[in-house]
Amino acid sequence: MSIQTLKQAVRNIPDFPIAGIQFKDITTLFQSPEHLQELSDVLYEAYKNKGITKVVGIESRGFFMGPALALRLNAGFIPIRKPGKLPHITIEESYEKEYGVDTIQIHEDSLSPDDVVLIHDDLLATGGTMIAAYNLVKKLGVKKIYINFLIELEELNGRQYFPKDVEVDSVLKFDI
């Protein structure tokens, strides 16, 4: 199997969730055990020697591969969720999306200064959600942060908003 095979398995949904958006549907990748295994292997190989102690997944698509990757890396999994979903004391960050403003939260005691963190989500478009997640993790004072996406829409240039010293990687890259 190859990256090209994985790319071909992603389904395009025009005008979702609003007109003009070409949605990349990754559920097709999870329907095939071969595709799912390939994704898991690619992610593991990329991060197995980075000393990751926690994988942080962003609600909700960061919950698909995040826990599986955490298991393979022998790391913990930390969810970032929308307000009102986490039961303990949280910190939050608001950000602008392509079509509105949103807020995400993380438990204030979920990470420590010794943690090496991989923040994982499904898609890098304009970068708003991940920048907010990065800011939350950074506030908790971790040792190092890596960022990963399953898909990157390169023409939107979301990568430009991340600090130069943060390694940002994507498994699959698409033009819009």
**What percentage of residues in the chain have a pLDDT greater than 70?**
99
- What local confidence, expressed as pLDDT, does residue 111 receive? 98
Closest CA to 149 of 175, 118, 114: 118
Average of per-residue pLDDT across 20-43: 94
Is the CB of residue 144 less than 8 Å from the CB of residue 171? no
Q: Who wins on pLDDT, 96 or 146?
A: 146
User: Catalytic: which of 38, 61, 93, 152?
Assistant: 61
pLDDT classification of 98: cutoffs 50, 70, 90:
low
Asked if 167 is an active-site residue, the reply is no
* Boundaries of every domain in the chain: 51-174
Give the class (CATH, top level) of 51-174. alpha beta
Average of per-residue pLDDT across 137-159: 97
Instruction: Return d(Cα 62, Cα 73) in angstroms, integer.
Output: 16
Instruction: Return d(Cα 69, Cα 140) in angstroms, integer.
Output: 22
User: Catalytic: which of 34, 45, 98, 155?
Assistant: 98
Digit-coded pLDDT (tens) for 41-58: 999 999 999 999 999 999
* DSSP letter string, the chain: --HHHHHHHSEEEET-SSTT-EEEE-HHHHHSHHHHHHHHHHHHHHHTTTT--EEEEETTTHHHHHHHHHHHHT-EEEEEB-TT--SS-EEEEEEEETTEEEEEEEETTS--TT-EEEEEEEEESS-HHHHHHHHHHHHTT-SEEEEEEEEEEGGG-GGGGS-TTSEEEEEEEE--
- What local confidence, expressed as pLDDT, does residue 35 receive? 95
> Do you know the residue count of the chain?
176
Tokens 């199997």 correspond to 1
Is the CB of residue 34 less than 8 Å from the CB of residue 9? no
Count the Cβ atoms, other than its own, within 10 Å of residue 100.
Answer: 6
Asked if 98 is an active-site residue, the reply is yes
